[in-house]
Amino acid sequence: MADIQLYHFPGSAPCRSVIMTAKALGVPLDLKPLDLMNKDHLSPEFAKINPDQTVPTIIDGDFTLWESRAIMRYLVAKYGGEDNSLYPRDLQKRAAVDRLLDYDLGVFYRAMIECVWLPFRDKIKVTKEQDEKVIKAFERIDTHVKDMKFLTGNTLTIADFAVVVGFAAEELYPGDMSKYPNAMAWYKRVQELPYYKEANQSYFELLEKYQIGKSEK
Ligand SMILES: N[C@@H](CCC(=O)N[C@@H](CS)C(=O)NCC(=O)O)C(=O)O
């Protein structure tokens, strides 16, 4: 069987969540980097593959799929065996994962991108509303994970992969992360996964490029 092709942009958060899922499942990926800065994704060739022209996009045989959370669900369903705890079959356990994935898509990830990453990248001053949105997002994760190892209980799921790639924007966030000790303990736990470093290498390189890191905060 040919490896699954993954069109990605090195450093991209949703791409990293897909890479983590593949690594957790032991599914090899054939990485196809697109340079978004060079507008590679806007080429007519890529528009034929994904008319939304976004990454991550996978091609698995004759099947093409985009939207990171849909890709993660697909990979676990197809390659995770009978009942994989990364995306459990039990209706209520699965619903808890889905809720977190939806919260991430609609609220958490948006707050990180719009209120931390883009102002940082474009050197724009963060508004009071943006700052409040970020604080609320960090507070939500902190309260949510208070008595749990991972986001839906004591077992790692794809919800952790989805949220952690956005949470990693804390590296660029000038505020005081010690206010969120439960969230930071969860973040550390996820970072300790054996494949975390390799799957997120491109993000560390991006941080290095921008010369940012914990020690500089
Ligand atoms: N909701 C999508 C977001 C995908 C997305 O916006 N990816 C960015 C890179 S991080 C992209 O492709 N941007 C190109 C564009 O929107 O033109 C997902 O989770 O996959």
Tens-of-pLDDT digits for all 217 residues of the chain? 689 999 999 999 999 999 999 999 999 999 999 999 999 999 999 999 999 999 999 999 999 999 999 999 999 999 999 999 999 999 999 999 999 999 999 999 999 999 999 999 899 999 999 999 999 999 999 999 999 999 999 999 999 999 999 999 999 999 999 999 999 999 999 999 999 999 999 999 988 887 765 544 4
- Neighbour tally for 123: CB within 10 Å: 6
Task: Assess whether 12 carries a catalytic annotation.
Answer: yes
CA distances from 202 to 12, 63, 163 (A): 8, 26, 17
Pocket test for ligand 1, best of 35, 54, 114 (most atoms within 8 A of CB): 54
Lateral strand order in the sheet of 4-8: 29-33, 4-8, 57-60, 63-66
Return the residue whose CA atom lies nearest to atom 16 of ligand 1. 54
Domain with CATH 1.20.1050.10 in the chain: 91-216
Distance (Å, whole) CA 10 – CA 29: 14
- The DSSP letter of residue 126 is P
- Give the three-state DSSP class for 184: helix
Predicted pLDDT at 2: 81
The CATH number of 91-216, from 1.20.1050.10, 3.40.50.150, 3.90.79.10, 1.10.1040.10, is 1.20.1050.10
In CATH terms, the fold of domain 4-79 is: Glutaredoxin (3.40.30)
Domain with CATH 3.40.30.10 in the chain: 4-79
Predicted pLDDT at 53: 98
Spatial CA neighbour of 163 closest among 142, 181, 132: 142
Predicted pLDDT at 206: 86
Ligand 1 atom having least distance to the Cα of 12: 10
Predicted pLDDT at 213: 59
How many angstroms separate the alpha carbon of residue 37 from the centre of ligand 1? Answer: 13
